[in-house]
């Protein structure tokens, strides 16, 4: 497992920590982020990555990039990055908890993150691990709401071995019912371990209350009852795997000291015979929330009272300004230098921590606000202060000079995430899972520059309303 922190493209360290905590609990093991290549079914094709209308000055992604699509639908992105001797090899499966649409079957996207390390007839677990060790490679995986990603960082000279072992396990994963049950019980142990952190029940309560029909309703690890029953779902696990672990639902992203001429013969050799799978069920559309919701979560033992709020916001998009405006708003209202933080944390010392922001998602999700309050009696005061500041921004807006400074800071942080091959691949995986296009990195970067004070004022008024809000309060027995 590995945190997805690098995908929190803008934002100060405190926000990264906040999202890491929340993601860990929503996933209970880690992960996920607040941002069309055509398929040619008959033959292998090659073309430069499309850049849309983004100007050169607006580009954050300067690396030579080639995209090719195999006849079976597998898309391959090759990014030539100045990282002598290194390659980051990412296999992106466009499946997450978002796709767990059947009742009683939550948690299987995360479950297969585990199972994919169980081995194949050619590369059993011990042999696979030995190959990774011999390469001196770093190999791991993570799951989020919208994706499951398997990643290897190794010497570029090891590319032939990497392609061989990764293609093998994606096409020939083998496990029996006993192995399935053992791993399912391990997931329950992972859930129980996460239950020692109060953020887990808070996140569960928030998303369960905020969503009615969309699978974002459950955390990435799944509903507890579904995890308990998972050992009985061996047959369903086969069905889930055949739906989503197919070439037309997987993207390869290879970043580093490589060229298309080195990569594509290997990919065609090892992935070319992989066959597409069955159709995948549609994801239900969440209806608008129509009333304020509030949930209290009791917590046995000592602890600090906490306040977690979620406001419904749109899916990530580079076609409208709202996603970028919400990123800027999170900096303006919840950064450590913001007036609200200074008031509640530094001056009045009502809260030990305050943060807010949203991850990128395929479908509409939540803008999250977290406050660790020192005294339970001050929770109403802290809530009122948050409401007042959001209402002030919605009413008065922010001056253009401040917007310019925040946008500049946000764009710098955005571009800085692409400093190494592995970081570039991690960021690229997020955008490919969400949009299917690496070009949206430049589009998102350009969209940030277009955010105005009027945009921030408008999104504050539109999304931060009581009827669009779900509130969870953690109530420790002993503070």
CATH dotted code for 293-478: 3.30.830.10
Residue of 388 and 19 predicted with greater confidence:
388
- pLDDT at residue 478, rounded to an integer: 64
Mean predicted lDDT score pLDDT of the chain: 88
Which residues are paired to 190 by β-bridges? none
d(CA 276, CA 248): 6
Q: Is the pLDDT of residue 41 over 60?
A: no
Q: Is the pLDDT of residue 46 over 70?
A: no
Residue of 45 and 361 predicted with greater confidence:
361
40-49, 53-62, 222-231, 402-411, range with greatest mean pLDDT: 222-231
Q: What is the pTM of this model?
A: 0.87
Tens digit of each residue's pLDDT (9 = 90 or more) over 119-172: 999 999 999 999 999 999 999 999 999 999 999 999 999 999 999 999 999 999
Counting Cα atoms < 13 Å in the Cβ hemisphere of 189 gives: 7
pLDDT band at 58 (very low <50, low <70, confident <90, very high): low
| Contact assessment for residue 118 and residue 110, using Cβ atoms and an 8 Å cutoff | no
- pLDDT at residue 8, rounded to an integer: 30
Range(s) of the chain covered by CATH 3.30.830.10: 6-12+28-271, 293-478
| Contact assessment for residue 184 and residue 230, using Cβ atoms and an 8 Å cutoff | yes
- pLDDT at residue 303, rounded to an integer: 83
| Contact assessment for residue 122 and residue 250, using Cβ atoms and an 8 Å cutoff | no
Q: Is the pLDDT of residue 25 over 80?
A: no
Q: What is the pairing mode between strands 86-93 and 250-256?
A: antiparallel
Range scoring the smallest mean pLDDT among 30-34, 83-87, 304-308, 408-412:
30-34
- pLDDT at residue 349, rounded to an integer: 97
Q: Say what the alpha-carbon torsion angle 59, 37, 158, 425 is, to the nearest 10 degrees.
A: 40
Q: Is the pLDDT of residue 296 over 90?
A: yes
- Number of other CB atoms surrounding residue 420 within 10 Å: 18
Tens digit of each residue's pLDDT (9 = 90 or more) over 268-283: 999 999 998 888 999 9
Main-chain dihedrals φ then ψ at residue 427, nearest 5 degrees? -65, -45
Structure tokens at 311: 């406001």
d(CA 122, CA 172): 8
d(CA 260, CA 262): 5
30-34, 196-200, 365-369, 417-421, range with greatest mean pLDDT: 365-369
Measuring CA to CA, which residue among 403, 388, 392, 387 is closest to residue 454?
A: 403
d(CA 143, CA 121): 25
d(CA 141, CA 154): 15
| Contact assessment for residue 60 and residue 251, using Cβ atoms and an 8 Å cutoff | no
Tens digit of each residue's pLDDT (9 = 90 or more) over 315-324: 999 999 999 9
Q: Is the pLDDT of residue 19 over 50?
A: no
Give residue 64's Cα distance to chain centre.
25
- pLDDT at residue 45, rounded to an integer: 33
d(CA 345, CA 343): 6
Q: Say what the alpha-carbon torsion angle 251, 256, 262, 268 is, to the nearest 10 degrees.
A: -10
Tens digit of each residue's pLDDT (9 = 90 or more) over 193-236: 999 999 999 999 999 999 999 999 999 999 999 999 999 999 99
6-12+28-271 has which fold? Answer: Cytochrome Bc1 Complex; Chain A, domain 1 (3.30.830)
In three-state secondary structure terms, 360 is coil
């Amino acid at each position: 497992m590995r945190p997805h922190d690098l995908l929190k493209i803008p934002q100060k360290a405190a926000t990264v920590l906040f999202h890491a905590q929340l993601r860990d609990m929503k996933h209970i093991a880690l992960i996920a982020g607040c941002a069309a290549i055509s398929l040619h079914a008959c033959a292998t094709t090659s073309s430069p990555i499309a850049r849309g209308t983004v100007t050169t000055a607006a580009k954050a992604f300067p690396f030579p990039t080639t995209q090719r699509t195999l006849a079976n639908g597998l898309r391959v992105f090759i990014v030539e990055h100045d990282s002598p001797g290194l390659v980051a090899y990412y296999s992106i499966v466009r499946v997450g908890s978002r796709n767990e649409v059947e009742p009683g079957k939550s948690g299987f996207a995360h479950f297969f993150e585990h199972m994919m390390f169980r081995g194949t007839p050619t590369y059993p677990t011990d042999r696979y691990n030995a190959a990774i060790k011999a390469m001196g490679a770093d190999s791991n995986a993570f799951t989020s709401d919208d994706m499951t990603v398997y990643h290897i960082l190794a010497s570029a000279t090891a590319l032939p071995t990497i392609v061989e072992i990764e293609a093998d396990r994606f096409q020939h994963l083998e496990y029996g019912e006993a192995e399935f049950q053992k791993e399912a019980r391990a997931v329950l142990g992972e859930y129980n371990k996460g239950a020692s952190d109060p953020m887990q029940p808070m996140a569960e309560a928030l998303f369960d209350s905020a969503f009615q029909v969309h699978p974002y309703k459950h955390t990435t690890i799944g509903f507890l009852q579904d995890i308990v029953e998972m050992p009985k779902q061996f047959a369903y696990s086969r069905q889930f795997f055949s739906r989503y672990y197919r070439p037309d639902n997987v993207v390869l992203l290879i970043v580093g000291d490589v060229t298309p001429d080195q990569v594509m013969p290997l990919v065609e050799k090892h992935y070319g015979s992989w066959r597409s799978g069955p159709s995948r069920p549609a994801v239900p559309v969440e209806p608008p929330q129509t009333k304020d919701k509030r949930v209290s979560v009791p917590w046995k033992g000592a602890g600090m009272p906490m306040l977690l709020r979620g406001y419904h916001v749109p899916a990530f998009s580079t076609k409208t300004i709202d996603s970028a405006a919400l990123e800027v708003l999170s900096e303006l209202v919840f950064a450590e230098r913001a007036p609200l933080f200074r008031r509640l944390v530094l001056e009045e010392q009502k809260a030990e921590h305050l943060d807010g922001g949203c991850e990128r998602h395929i479908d509409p999700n939540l803008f999250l606000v977290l406050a660790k309050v020192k005294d339970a009696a001050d929770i109403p005061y802290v809530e009122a202060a948050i409401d007042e500041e959001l209402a002030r921004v919605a009413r008065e807006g922010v001056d253009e000079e401040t917007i310019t400074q925040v946008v500049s800071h946000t764009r710098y942080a955005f571009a800085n995430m692409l400093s190494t091959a592995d970081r570039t691949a991690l960021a690229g995986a997020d955008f490919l899972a969400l949009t299917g296009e690496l070009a949206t990195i430049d589009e998102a970067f350009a969209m940030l520059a277009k955010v105005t004070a009027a945009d921030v004022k408008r999104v504050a008024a539109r999304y931060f309303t009581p009827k669009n809000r779900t509130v969870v309060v953690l109530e420790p027995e002993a503070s």
